[in-house]
Structure 1
């Protein structure tokens, strides 16, 4: 396949799961020999040293309608002359309008059920779940220009957490470690996680239960106050947002993902599988699409802390269940969410769209 030059644009202010995916995808695309440049929001957390050898272009992206920002994006496209311009989420997509006769193809990639009006001007659309693709088609988008490609899972080499990490975090050596990554925003469901922790015994199967939470965001103060009021804060480690959560995945005995039904996919699911870790997650839209309850994870009712507590206790008491779910998840990560076939799907789509210009 001949090389394909692309410009990947995102307008996020902060790092989260979607932004980590953007980073992994862009770096991998360039690694495969396809020249890749990125555009990020000027002054954001992404406007920094996160991109190895990739050319990073800070852009204003002040609002979704700002004409100066729109002009800046158009000028960048004129200057860099990419073949593919792929935008992520609303801000970047609304501000991206290809210059006349640019010869490029504009692909809008959606990882959520966003308001569709700001996406219609793109040439094609990628949904990272089948549900999102159906949503676009139901909204009148051409089924011939809507494409489904899942995110890929990381498949790290097997290994334990760094020696001494438990002690460094103040966690007893014999403790169970539950781990939850995610920004502190309402649809990530952290308040239901905290309620569930308060319902759990402090020790299960003779081992104390501790929770590690990786994240930051607007609900930080509210969540800390809730943990204090529930008298569980002494068994929680708040690490802040982690650009590289590898050590924490390795440390975990169980990954917990408590999002509300508004969660469109959840990279945490396939990350847990890739790390060969058992998973308890809410039955959100994305989880229901990809998971099989009792086989590759346990699905609890969204926004139901009692249900979550029940499944957490079940998983911690049953070693065989944890092992079987983790092994089945790893198998699925390798077979259905591996990096190579998903990157190949993107490149084949790029080639198809460029041939059809």
Structure 2
């Protein structure tokens, strides 16, 4: 039994949650599941990412705007989907559906947010077990909190000539180590630790020069550039900016480094690194402690420890056998534990149960 669903998010710019929103809806569509989107007018999602998915736009001005609340809730009611799933605080606050009217409001949380914007929902989904346990400890009824993790997208093929052209564009030598870090320039992503660790690396590792690709943007950009200049590593960093189509950068990379701080809930980059067959060095943030296995599918170091992170990167790049082992085990993990079909089946089973199907 397939359950139609409406998915609402109020973001203006792209980030991790927004990328998941697109991935999830496109996967639902590929599986033939009836899905609609409601997004913020003029935002990145509305203008470039949801082509082919039935999508409506509303202003969603502020969480306190009564007109926005009325518009969002009225649209959700008019959609008549048994499931209305909201993402993050703005969309959840603006969506109010009365129980017993044939619609269930499911709020999906991808982080340890303040819970008051979400408490009026009828059910909650957390993408890690730790997050679900935290929601229950903070007063949400256990029987209405559900754990469904994220799936890993299949890697998007990119022509080798395009990847080679990208390498030339950034001025990388054929034998450079290219270390990729995708993520918004915000504190939780640990960029400051990464730059301090990169500054500790030797000029060459196993006869090859390491270079760092920062694929992202955000409010800390200026501070990070200042830090890089102070460390004397600006000429070894590629500031790639936010990439709406990041696949070519994953294909280009030799390894992925993900140095998030403890507050990081899941970390989709872990799954992306495995899917793109890239060896991974990550910190022991909350999500990594739950899904990654040190020494098997990734090399895990303490959070906020530049020396440990530098040692982990250097050790990985110097050990070809370890890189091969991490890639093989990462592929197995995304296939067996984080497969798209299995995760979608769990969502549909939950939707059916909530809708009384």
TM range (shorter): over 0.9
- Contact 2:266/2:287 (CA < 8 Å) preserved in 1? yes
Per the normalisation by structure 1, the TM-score is 0.96
| Larger deviation, residues 93-102 vs 336-345 | 93-102
Map 1:244-283 onto structure 2 (within 5 A): 244-283=245-284
SS at match of 2:124: strand
Aligned mates of 1:122, 1:130 — CA distance in 2: 19
Aligned mates of 1:319, 1:353 — CA distance in 2: 49
Deviation at 1:159, TM superposition (A): 7.3
Deviations 1:300-336 (A, max 9, x none): 1111111110100000101111111111111011000
Deviations 1:170-219 (A, max 9, x none): 11111001000000111111111111111111211110111111101111
Cα–Cα, structure 1 residues 160 and 207, in superposed 2: closer, same or farther, change >3 Å?
Answer: farther
Map 1:196-211 onto structure 2 (within 5 A): 196-211=197-212
Q: CA RMSD for the aligned pairs? A: 1.5
Aligned mates of 1:301, 1:158 — CA distance in 2: 33
Map 1:1-357 onto structure 2 (within 5 A): 1=1, 3-98=2-97, 102-156=101-155, 161=160, 162-355=163-356
- Contact 1:42/1:59 (CA < 8 Å) preserved in 2? yes
- Contact 2:7/2:36 (CA < 8 Å) preserved in 1? yes
Q: How many residues align?
A: 355
SS at match of 2:281: strand
Per the normalisation by structure 2, the TM-score is 0.96
Deviation at 1:49, TM superposition (A): 2.7
- Contact 1:20/1:243 (CA < 8 Å) preserved in 2? no
Aligned mates of 1:41, 1:158 — CA distance in 2: 30
Deviation at 1:99, TM superposition (A): 5.0
For structure 1, list consecutive stretches of 5 or more residues without a partner in the other structure: none
For structure 2, list consecutive stretches of 5 or more residues without a partner in the other structure: none
SS at match of 1:255: strand
